Copies of this chain bind each other. A is one copy, B any other.
Amino acid sequence: MSSEIGKRVKLSVFGESHGEMIGCTLHDLPAGEAIDLEAVYAQMARRAPGNDPTATARKESDEPRVVSGFCNGVTTGTPLTAVIVNENTRSGDYAAQLSVPRPGHADHTGMVRYNGANDIRGGGHFSGRLTAPIVFAGAVCRQILARRGITIGAHILQIGDVRDEAFDALGVRASLLKELSEKRFSLIDETKEAPMRAAVAAAKQAADSIGGIIELAVTGLPEGLGSPMFGGVENVLSPLIFGIPAVKGLEFGDGFALGSMRGSEANDCLHYDEHGKLGLMSNHNGGILGGITDGAPLILRAVIKPTPSIGQVQASVDVQHGINTTTVIRGRHDPCIVPRAVPVLEAVTAIGLLDLMESEA
């Protein structure tokens, strides 16, 4: 249950930040699905580092090789595996971690968990680098969903105190989502890009980092997808979304705002519209009632904590010598991971939704 997940379409992820290869296997994908690898690579490029001032300077080709499960341009139905060869690693940067855990990272918890046997170089298996194969897997699933009329898109709702316009929860269109899902710095209101970049630059200037919130929507989901209790859309997506490093909160529909609302405000009533089509009059529940899609767009938000790797002097300990000390993290790190987390959030959502659809087919 650690690095694999899924009920029917199962994802198995492997690799470490500075190991030989990272990659993933998708089990039990539907057979005969055409996959456009260029479109897959385009998604991976959105996540790749080194393309944007908000990101780390580490350059990687990140070109995945599909080594199994893909033949004549379509999925074979048997395991689909892609590997990415790690290049351009600078393990020397991480020597100090061995005895002085980086604050806010999994250095110490990982060491305790694995009795010191875990690969600590670059965060090892805990590294954000492992989201590359996840984006690969998500890009594959997304294309299959697209053929079923389902569109997934997300945008940066917030970085620091700068906020983008929120989705129109009931009226969000597939065309907007498609557009967002191709952007590198995904915003609804692009005038917010400058102030957001300024907030990141200010954090970087202060040798600091900054967090944010991503909002995601899905249109075209069939009504009636999901199951009660532990088999609902929220239950399927949440362990995937909390699998993204740095996610510490997740809400659907109006989310935490529902805590101060009344039922009369929060209830989404059904009606037949002027064309006689059954639908909802509002979407406070984010397209999910009782765990099951209700026909309205799926709306969710995830918070991304500020990157723990910052250039400031921080308190830490030297576990080898049992003393308090300070540490300064070197190496190449993102002052703000939020823009690169957008395609990752879209990816895990695609994986979860395809799994759910195939599970209940």
Contact = CB atoms under 8 A, between A and B. Distances in A.
Nearest to A77: B114
A103 interface: yes
A306 B263 contact: yes
A161 interface: yes
A104 B276 contact: no
Interface string A235-254: 11011111101011111111
Interface string A195-237: 0000000010010111111000000000111111111101110
Contact of A78 (B2, B159, B211): B2
A266 interface: yes
A76 B241 CA distance: 24
Contacts of A236: 1, 239
Contact of A289 (B109, B250, B301): B109
B1 A306 contact: no
Contacts of A264: 206, 208-209, 310, 312, 314
A116 interface: yes
Contact of A4 (B27, B259, B315): B27
Given A79-B125, A101-B270, A230 B243 contact: yes
A83 interface: yes
B229 A267 contact: no
* Copies of this chain assembled into the complex: 4
A101 B1 CA distance: 38
A309 interface: yes
B243 A229 contact: yes
A269 interface: yes
A53 interface: no
B113 A76 contact: no
A50 interface: no
Interface of A: 1-5, 7-8, 10, 12-16, 19-23, 25, 27-28, 31-32, 65, 67-69, 71-72, 74-81, 83, 101, 103-106, 108-110, 112-119, 124-126, 130, 158-161, 203, 206, 208-213, 223-232, 234-236, 238-243, 245, 247-256, 258-272, 276, 278, 281, 284-286, 288-294, 301, 303-310, 312, 314-317, 319, 322-324, 359, 361
